[in-house]
Amino acid sequence: MRKVIPILVAVLTGLTVLADFFITHPILDLVGRTLLQWAMIVAAFAFVAGLLNIFFTHTSRVFHREKGWGYSIVVILAMWTVLVFGFVGNGPHGYVVSWIFRYVQYPLQATVMALLAFFALSAGYRAFRRRTLESTIMLLSASLVLLGYAAIMTDLWPVSALKEWVLSVPAMAGVRGILLGVALGITATGLRILIGMDKPYSD
C-alpha cells in the first residue's frame, strides 16, 4: 500500500493536468488550476528546504572546524542578515536588502561571470587544435562564427554574412534536432511516469 498510493496520486494528478490541457471543462479547469497552484507552492517551499540545508551544512562545518569553515561563517552571517532585514524591513525591496542586492550580489555575480571569459579563452587556446578532420572542422566553424560576431560591429562586417549562414543553416539544423530529441524524450518520460513505470517521486 505504501508503494501503490504514491503511484496512484502521481498518475491521477498527471492525467488530470494533461486532460485539462486538451479538454475545456469548468470542473476540469478548476481542478487543473488548483493542482498547478499547489505545484507552485511546493516549488516555493523548495527554497525554504534549500535555505535550511545551507544553514545546517555550514553550521556543521563551523562546529567541526572543517576546511574553509571561515567562509561558512560568512555565508551564515550573510544569510541571517538578509533574512532579518527582509522580515524587519520592507520585504525584498527594502532599503537594506535592495542595497545588498545592488552593491554586493549584483557586482559579485557579474565579476564571476566576467572571469569566465578569461577561462574560456584559455580553454579555447588549448582545445582548438588540428588533431583530426573533425577538430579541424570545428576549429574553422568556431573561428568563422566568432569572426562573424566580431565583424558585425567593425568594418569587416561583410564577413558576418558567412556567420549568418553558419548559424541559420547547419547550426539551426543541429539545434532543431536537439529540440526535437528533447521533446520526444520529455514525451516518453511523461508517459512512463503516467503509467507508473518511472517513479522519480519515490526515489
Partner 1 sequence: MIYCPNCGTANREGSKYCNQCGARLTPEEGIRCQICGAINSPENEKCVNCGASLKPAPPPEEKPAEELPKVPVFPEEIILTIEEEAPDFLADLRAKVQEVVLPEEEREVVPPEEEKPIFIAEERYEEEKPFEGEELPPPPAEEKPAVAVEYREEELPDWLKEAEEIVLPPEPSASADWLKEVEIPWLEEEIVEVPVLAEIPPWLEALRPVEKAPEAPPPEEEAEEKGVLQGLKGLLKPAAIFGPPEKIPLRGEVAELSLGGEEIQKLIKLKPAVPAVKIKAPPKEIRTHRLIHFILLLAVLIPMLLGWPSMPSGSPPTPPGVEKFFQTVEALPPGSFVLVAFDYEPYMAGEMESVAYPVLTHLKGKGCRVAMISLNPAGPALAQALGERAGFLYGEEFVNLGYIPGVEAGLRALGTSEGWLVRYDYLQGKPLDSFPAFQSVKGLKGWNLIVLFSGQSSTLLGWIEQVGSTVEAPMVAGVISGLKPYAEPYLGSGQLKGLLGGMADAAFYEAMLGKPSAATRAAPVQAFALLIALLVILVGSLMRGESHA
Binding residues for partner 1, per CB under 8 A?
17, 20, 29, 32-33, 36-37, 39-44, 46-47, 91-93, 98, 101-102, 105-106, 109-110, 112-114, 117-118, 121-122, 124-126, 128-131, 139, 142-143, 146-147, 149-155, 157, 160, 164, 167-168, 171-172, 175-176, 179
Minimum distance, C-beta of residue 1 to partner 1, in the bound complex (Å): 28
Q: Which is nearer to partner 1, 73 or 150 (CB)?
A: 150
Comparing CB distances to partner 1, the nearer of 109 and 202 is: 109
Q: Which is nearer to partner 1, 61 or 97 (CB)?
A: 97
Nearest distance in Å: CB 62, partner 1: 26
Q: How far is the CB of 131 from partner 1 (least distance, A)?
A: 6
User: Can you tell me the distance from the alpha carbon of 100 to that of 117, in angstroms, rounded to the nearest whole number?
Assistant: 25
CB of 119 to partner 1, least distance (A): 9
